[in-house]
Amino acid sequence: MFALVDAVAFYASAEKVFDPSIRKRPVVVLTNNDGCVCAVSPEARKLNVPKFEPYFKLRKFLEQHNVVVRSSNYELYADLSTRMMNVIGRFCDNQYIYSIDESFLQFTGFKSIIDDWHAYGQDIRLAVWRETKLPVGVGFGTTPTLSKAANHAAKKLEGYNGVAVIDDDYSANEILAKMEVTDVWGIGGRLGKKLNMMRIYTALDLKKQNPKYMRKQFSVVVERTIEELNGQVCISWDDVKQPKQEIFSTRSFGERVTDVHDLKSSLSTHCSIVGKKLREQSSMTKQLIIFAHSSPHEDNFYKRSFLYEFPVPTSDSRVLANAVNEVLPQLFHNGVRFYKAGIGAIELVSEQFMQADLFTPTLNNSKLMNSLDSINKVFGKGTIRLASEQQTKSWEMKRDFLSPRYTTRWSDIPKIQC
């Protein structure tokens, strides 16, 4: 049995934890640079506030309906996420954290212990609420995709009260019949349209399709999804956790960047981020994509992207930053108002199988990088960083509606007055 536990509108709920005055009000949270709406509290959902619409288009509407607007407070969300995950992890010995607010639990050998999954789900919800003041939904299913579907039912369908269980074909069909095909994990809007044309409208319709045939029509992803809906496990974290095949760090700027040094320092920061993520999964990269562009919504869109090949794979942030330095003169163009930049490590290889080059002295210093990671872990991120990362305010992200970092800054800790 699998369970998917996730928070209801996590970012919006996180904003409510330390600010009870907004708990009953509609709340939305914006993405980086206050660009789009990315979290909509249930109260705001009732007003039909769409997700991922640009904020400037919704601003008037949100004001009219007295909706609370907040910038993304990642420091707060990351901390609350950790707390929430710790509570959830107590309920199962096999937890897989899938995103900042979702974790899968895989129950093996629990059958003799747990006879009522509904009650167990309510126990989880109650514990998380009591200890973190975050509302969660719990879906149980015999495959990860079915637990996702159950989770959808738990939170979005009438009469489930936060917990739903799919433990046989009957309960699966009952829930899947009430779900749009695009509510199924892995089926997005585009696929949904094509499926509709084939008269596949509900999740149950999809479940009844022939997986092999659908693989031919679409892809292996659709095939696996259908098998999972039929109770056949295709996604598993049992075996060694799969390392990522590519790692990107990209960001749009708070203010347009026109200065080469600003562009360089932002890219250096991306090098640190990607380097750290590479080391975390014991990978090294052979190739690096380095890109920068102006706004795609502007006329004469400027975009440059380079593929840099390393003679020897690396996970050393400094080596990545050197690559950036090399291409920077070709990337930057005077007069362009840069809107976004980033790097991506592709062609990853495992540290273990790293092939050295007889003729190229390796610049990779993993001891140095490991010490850097350890120091930053203890003393906070950015304690030791590349000199070229030198922060300049101009490209930092815009967050006009930021709440306090209640749990990660001494000055922001809530005070209780007697």
Partner DNA sequence: TCTGGGGTCCTAGGACCC
Residues forming the site for DNA (CB under 7 A): 10, 31-33, 35-36, 38, 52, 54-56, 99-102, 148, 184-192, 219-221, 242, 244-252, 273, 277, 295, 297-298, 305, 307, 339-340, 342, 344, 397
Nearer to DNA by Cβ, of 350 and 371: the residue is: 350
Closer to DNA at the Cβ: 141 or 344?
Answer: 344
CB of 10 to DNA, least distance (A): 7
Of 24 and 194, the one with the shorter C-beta distance to DNA is 194
Quote the least distance from Cβ 347 to DNA, whole Å. 8
Q: Considering the complex, what minimum distance in angstroms separates the CB of residue 350 from DNA?
A: 14
Comparison of 35 and 89: residue with beta carbon closer to DNA: 35
Q: Which residue's CB is nearer to DNA, number 64 or number 99?
A: 99
Task: Output 70 or 148, the one with its CB closest to DNA.
Answer: 148
Nearer to DNA, 163 or 341 (CB): 341
What distance in Å separates the CA atoms of residue 279 and residue 270, rounded to the nearest whole number? 14
Indicate the residue among 101 and 316 with the shorter CB distance to DNA: 101
Q: In what order do the strands lie in the sheet with 247-257?
A: 247-257, 338-350, 283-293, 303-314
What b/e sequence results for 191-230 when a residue is b if at least 16 CB atoms lie within 10 Å of its CB, and e otherwise?
bbeebeeeebebbbbbbebebeebbeebeeebbbbbbbbb
Q: 26 or 139: whose CB is closer to DNA?
A: 139
- Judged by beta carbon, residue 24 or residue 51, the one nearer DNA is 51
Q: Closest distance between DNA and the C-beta of residue 208, in Å?
A: 19
Q: What is the 3-state secondary structure (H, E, C) of the chain?
A: CEEEEEECCHHHHHHHHCCHHHCCCCEEEECHHHCEEEEECHHHHHCCCCCCCEHHHHHHHHHHCCCEEECCCHHHHHHHHHHHHHHHHCCCCCEEEEECCEEEEECCCCCCCCCCHHHHHHHHHHHHHHHHCCCEEEEEECCHHHHHHHHHHHHHCCCCCCEEECCCHHHHHHHHCCCEHHHCCCCCHHHHHHHHHCCCCEHHHHHCCCHHHHHHHCCHHHHHHHHHHCCCCCCCCCCCCCCCCCEEEEEEEEEEECCHHHHHHHHHHHHHHHHHHHHHCCEEEEEEEEEEECCCCCCCCCEEEEEEEEEEEECCHHHHHHHHHHHHHHHCCCCCCEEEEEEEEEEEEEHHHCCCCCCCCCCCCHHHHHHHHHHHHHHCCCCCCCHHHCCCHHHCCCCCCCCCCCCCCHHHCCCCCC
Q: Which is nearer to DNA, 190 or 415 (CB)?
A: 190
Shortest spacing between CB 302 and DNA, in angstroms: 14
Q: Which position has the token pair 């200065």?
A: 259
Shortest CB 113 distance to DNA, Å: 28
Q: How far is the CB of 244 from DNA (least distance, A)?
A: 4
Provide the CB-side half-sphere exposure for 314 (13 A, CA): 26
Using a 10 angstrom Cβ sphere, with 0-12 exposed, 13-18 middle and 19 or more buried, the burial of residue 60 is exposed
